[in-house]
Structure formats: structure tokens, C-alpha cells
Structure 1
Amino acid sequence: MKLSPMTKSGLKSLSLFAAAMAFATPALAFPVTVDNCGTPLTFEAAPERMVVQDINMSEMAFALGLQDRMVGVSGISGWYKTSEEFERKRGDIPEIAPKYPTLENLVAADPDLFFAGWYYGMKPGGDVTPDTLAPHGIKTLILTESCIHLDKARPAASLDLLYGDLLRLGTIFGKEVEAQALVDGWKARMAELAERIGDNRDMKVFLYDSGEDKPFTAGRFAMPTAMIEAAGGRNVTADMETSWGTTSWEAVAAADPQFIILLDYQDGGGADKLRAFLEAHPVMSQTEAVKNARYLPLRYEELTPGPANIEGIERLARAMHPEAF
């Protein structure tokens, strides 16, 4: 079949356009440098063999379609029950350790990147740190929320913890456009939510993670503080100068929370066990939230930095402010 001069000209233009687009592809934008708890981390090329710690960080990677770059996950089956959707996205990616991986676990998987955080797979001075992994050719991308354990000058938690980490992943893997589109969509949902809630933002909220002698909960630097604020409330333990930590039942009861989030680990009784404990507790049973049975169970991945934060905030806002929906 002969092509007309116009068709030939059009094909030539398309070929030139395709060549230009190929030249402009993000894969050719390397090296890239991202902030890593205040230290620059440079990549000469996109990682090819990543291990990801925890369900929340795994969901960040899944959101960008990075499964083909993942050679392992860790810290999931030892603590959580996963959804069918999570397992579908995970596919045949193996779990190298049910809780915290050892240095040997990671070296055996032969990754070039470990995406984890302080007390999300790593402990300061522990067996697995960026310094112990570096001699094995493994770079470490640190979850920003966890940087507070090394840098006490960090700002209070905000949704930028989620947005920034997803954008960093996009930069590292040459998926800036996809990452920005996700973040823009999340911001639009949060803006719509803020408009619904309006100025009704004074509800006192307590997050009960675990613990009986002392409650383990979220402080100023933990993601739930930002989530509670986005949902139209204020965290009664936001004055704790930590991310996650313990306080006293007397302090929580004195704050008289009006609403309680129960971290539902879905094992050992989960949220039902936490609720029963609060209702039998001598001081917590007298708080407004417990007396009025105002609770919402949220899963671990909804309360730690990850894509599930957005739906978690929306669920929390509906439960706290049903009149706005």
C-alpha cells in the first residue's frame, strides 16, 4: 500500500514526537537526590531490588505499581491480618521476616534498597540500620514520620508525611507524574472534607493502641495526630513530645475525650478487647466518649503513613461529625 505525502509527513512528525518523548522520559533524569531524615540520598538509577517493611509502606509501593521492583516484604504476618486486596497486589512477593528482619534476612534477599523506618523495621543502634546495610550495597529509604527518633527538631505531624514519602518514591523510581497525580487526588479529597466539616474542629479525640497498665498512643509527631486534625478534632495526647509512646490513664481521663479511636490489630481480640477494657476501667469508664460509646476501630495501615490514611480520615470524619454527611 502506498502512503500519500501527507501521511508520510504525519508519520515522520509522529516519529520525531515519539523520539522527543523518549528523550524526555523520567528514566533519563537520573541521578536523583532525595532528603532522607535530613541527609541527602542519591540514586544513579532506579532501584531494581527493593525490600519493603510493614503493610503501610508496602501499600505506598503498590500505589505506584512497584511490585516488579520488589524482591521482598517484611514485618507483616507477625502482626497483622491482611486483606484479600493486599494479597492480590502483593502477588508472589515473598515475606523475608514476619516481624523485624535481621541483617542476614536482608543480605540473603540481595536488595539494593530497604524502605523502612525507625521502629518500623529498624532500631537505633540495632542490627539493621542504614550504616550496617551500606557495606552490603543496600541503601535505606527512611519513613519520614520516624525521623523524630533521631531528630528532635522535626515539625508536628501533618499529611505532608504521607505526601512527601510518596513523592520521594516517585522520584526514586522515575514515577514522578504518577506520584504527583495520586497526591493531588488525595489533597482534593481532603479539601472537600474540610469544606464539609467547616469550623467544627474542637472534638477531643484519644487513640488507644494498646497497653493496660499504661496506654500506648500517638503523640505530636505521629500520623494519627494529623489525621485527627484533618477529620475535625484534636488529639488529647498531642502534647506528648514523641511520635508513639505511653502516657497515664489519669492524664487521658482528665482530658475527657469525646471520641476514641481503637487500633484494630485484628488479633488477640482486636478493637473489641480494647473497648471492653475501657468500659471496665475505673477512670476511663467515666469519660464522655466511653459513656456515650463513641468509638471507631481503625486498622494499623490506616493509622501509620500510607495510602489508607485518606480513607481512614474520611471514615473518622463521618463518625465524629455525622451531621456533615
Structure 2
Amino acid sequence: MIRLPLAALLLSAAPALAHPVTVQSCDRQVTFDAPPARAVSNDDNLTEMMLVLGLRDRMVGYTGISGWKTLDEQMREGVAELPELSEKYPSKEVLAGAEADFFFAGWNYGMKVGGEVTPDTLTPFGIQVYELTESCIHLGPRPRASMEDLYTDIANLGRIFGVEDRAEALIAGWRDELSALTAGVDRATPLRVFVYDSGQETPFTAGAHAMPTALIEAAGGRNIMDDLDKSWAEIGWEPVIDRNPQVVVIVNYGDVTAGQKIDFMKTSPALAEIDAVRNDRFVVLDYVEATPGPRNISAVETLVHAFAQD
């Protein structure tokens, strides 16, 4: 299994001479006349995409990690020599001050629709933007989340930075691993699965356009909120109770631990009769596994094993 070994994270990738290249980024076509040389990524998962492609030497920093999450050992090694330019979402001034020429981010992954930092507002600074595919739902209708979202982003980054061969090799390896992992999955009666990100009065969860829906389906389950035409959203507990999930996927990050989230569900009288709670069927995915990125394959493996338990 690919586990983002340190050697892979630190490996530099020499650019190919294939520019200019044009890629689709949400509703835009973006042309790069040369590979970016001073890139910035936002968030754990997007930063790992850059690292696994061997692009650390093409980066001047990253943003949006320590304000919400803690770097695990693997990530700390990968970004050891890079500064965190902003603990949360960066400002235009932060990116311009780093003399960035490229920002890899997404909608609600470092940028907000109508916010200060967008592809349009960064253009005057000479900063080009590639948008995370999963996040494009914030700009208008698009297909539900799938594993192809990850492959698309890796392929496009490969083209942008002139490392297509490395990107294609990664994608081919992931496809093979995923096929092997899920070959024996019984899809006749998918398990009902709820994704619990955060919130007690009202839960924050994954809808049709969030990566956990694709991960759950790959592992042989069905997200009970797969009819929610959003990516991540706040809902009420009523539909969760009504749809009675057999398994709860806990997204682990931030100040509230996975154990605390499980304890809340297990001690809430309103949730006591949910099958997952009665049968103590919880599975934990770290944030960087549940959002689009190289650890999605290991997330599917975790889910396959969890779903197979009697």
C-alpha cells in the first residue's frame, strides 16, 4: 500500500518541458506558461498532494493547518523546512508578501465565495490559482463526489508543474490498490453510514459532494445523507435518527477528540436507539483521510475492514 513514505514526500521532481499547459479548474480554464516556482498550498490534504508529487522545492510555504489541526509526524517531516504563512485562511497580503506565483486551494479550503482571496483577487499579484475539484460544488452544480476527484487533481497538478509521469504513476498505483482492496466487497445490501464531523446541538456532516461519500461507496456502504446536495453541511439530528445508520464514521481533528465525539453519541438519550450506537460501531478517519488527498486509499482500506465486522 502507498503510505506516503518520507522518501516520497521529500523527493524532488524535475519539470518536463511541456508548457504552456491549460487545465480545467472548476468553471475556469487556466493556462500556465511555465511551471510555478513559488507555490503555496492550503490545508493538510492539499499540501500532501503537493508533497507526494515531489514539489516541496517548488513551494515557499503553506497555510491553514495549525489554526484548526495538528500536523502528524508524517506531515511534520514533509513540511519541515517550509514556513506556515498563515494559521488559518491567508490574506492577499500574506500570499503577495511571500512572492507566491501559485495558490493551491479550494472553496472552503482557503478561499470563500465572495471573499477576500479568490482567483480574481489574486490575479493582480501575479498569483495563479488551481481549485480543489471537490470544492467546485460551491460555484454551481456538479457530479457527486467520486474517487475521480482525487485523480483529476493529481493529474492536473502533474501537468501544471510538468511532472505528468509521476502523477500518472501515482494514479495508476492507487487505482490498482483500490481495485484489490475492494475486490471482495459485498455490495448487495450497502451498510447505512453516517459521517459525524462535529457539533452536538446540530451535527456537521458530509453530503453528496464530500469525499467521504465516495470513500464509503468504494468500501461497500452508503452515506445516509447522500441525497444532501452539498459537500459539508450542518443538519439536524432528526434525519440521522430516522435513517438509523448502522455505522458512524468519526472525522478526527481539532480540539474535540474522536473519543469525545463517540462518548457524546453513546451518552445522548436521543441517539440511544440508533443501530450504530447500540452496537458500538464507530470507525475513525483522520481529517486528512476524509478529505481529498493521497490518504484516501488507506481510508477506504480502514472502511472495508470496519464494514466487514460482524
Using the size of structure 1 for normalisation, the TM-score is: 0.89
Answer 1 or 2: which has greater helix percent. 1
Tell me by how many angstroms 1:86 deviates.
1.0
- Is 285-294 or 187-196 further displaced after alignment? 187-196
Q: Equivalent residues in 2 for 1:76-115 (5 A)? A: 76-115=65-104
Deviation digits for residues 140-170 of structure 1 (CA, Å, limit 9, x no counterpart): 1100100000022x00110011000000010
Alignment partner of 1:283 is 2:270: yes
One-letter amino acid matched to 2:184: R
Deviations 1:19-71 (A, max 9, x none): xxxxxx96221110000103110001100000000000000001101000000
Which residue of 22, 27, 31 maps to 1:42?
Answer: 31
Report what 1:3 is aligned to.
none
User: Aligned residue pairs: how many?
Assistant: 297
Q: Per-residue deviation at 1:182? A: 0.5
Preserved contact between residue 15 and residue 35 of structure 2 (Cα < 8 Å): no
Q: What letter is aligned with 1:277?
A: F
Once residues 150 and 232 of structure 2 are traced to their aligned partners in structure 1, the CA distance between those partners, rounded to angstroms, is 17
Q: Matches of 1:28 and 1:276 in 2, distance apart?
A: 54
CA distance in 2, matches of 1:127, 1:285: 44
- 2:140 matched to which residue of 1? 151
Classify the secondary structure of the residue corresponding to 1:211.
coil
**Take 1:303 and 1:57, find their aligned partners in 2: how far apart are those partners?**
12
Question: Match of 2:123?
Answer: 134
Q: State the partner residue of 2:295.
A: 308
SS of 1:296's equivalent? strand
| More displaced 10-residue stretch of structure 1: 65-74 or 84-93 | 84-93
CA distance in 2, matches of 1:166, 1:237: 27
Gaps of 5+ in 2: 1-13
Counterpart code for 1:208: Y
**Helix, strand or coil at the partner of 1:239:** coil
Give, in angstroms, the shift of residue 297 of structure 1.
Answer: 1.2
TM-score normalized with structure 2 length: 0.93
Q: What are the residue-to-residue correspondences of 1:1-325 with 2, within 5 Å?
A: 27-152=16-141, 154-265=142-253, 267-322=254-309
* 1:260 CA displacement: 0.4
Q: Counterparts of 2:158 and 2:277 in 1: how far apart (Å)? A: 42
2:45/2:291 contact within 8 Å kept: yes
Q: In structure 1, how many angstroms separate the alpha carbons of the residues matched to 2:309 and 2:272? A: 24
Higher Rg of the two aligned structures: 1
CA contact (8 A) 1:263 1:271 kept: yes
Q: Which amino acid aligns with 2:249?
A: I
Show the counterpart of 2:11: none
Indicate if the aligned counterparts of 2:39 and 2:101 stay in contact, CA closer than 8 A. Answer: yes
Shift of 1:137: 0.3
Confirm or deny: 8 A CA contact 1:64 1:170 kept in the other structure: yes
**CA–CA distance in structure 2, aligned partners of residues 131 and 65 of structure 1:** 28
The two structures, once aligned, show a CA RMSD in angstroms of 1.3
The Cα of 1:322 is off from its aligned counterpart by: 3.8
User: Taking CA–CA contacts closer than 8 Å with sequence separation of 6 or more, which of the two structures ends up with the larger relative contact order?
Assistant: 2
- 2:101 & 2:189 partners in 1: Cα distance? 44
CA distance in 2, matches of 1:128, 1:240: 27
The 10-residue stretch of structure 1 (74-83 or 64-73) with the greater mean CA deviation from structure 2: 74-83
